[in-house]
Amino acid sequence: MLRTLCKSKIKNVFVTHKELKYDGSIGIDKTVIEAAEIMPGEQVHILNVNNGERFTTYVIEEKANSGRIVFYGPAARKGEVGDELVILSYCLMETKESHNFKIRTIALGKNNQHKSK
């Protein structure tokens, strides 16, 4: 049996830009997505702490260490610059392997910067 598990969680994320005239998605700093083991184009769930919005989209890679978190296209209607987010990605795995699985959690610091361990 396959189970759907939360693979990655990025918290303490703040929207830095919005661009309505775009096909749609979320732009995330390359350093952050690499730390969270999320790929460009990967599906993510966005949880907006400020307004309760929750939506599904895909990731566009922003410049490394830019701190950019951008709502593109229709996603730009789901929040405002400065809103706090939680970003989740999921994976499928067999029940047996899921017992040893640990979610990868990334907490961002000032200006959406990931601090390496």
DSSP run (H or E) holding 30: helix 30-35
- Of 8, 22, 25, 72, catalytic: 25
Whether residue 72 lies in the annotated active site:
no
Tell me, yes or no, if 58 is annotated catalytic.
Answer: yes
Rounded Cα–Cα distance for residues 5 and 7 (Å)? 6
Amino acid present at 4: T
Cα Dmax for the chain: 45
- Residues with a catalytic annotation lie at 25, 58
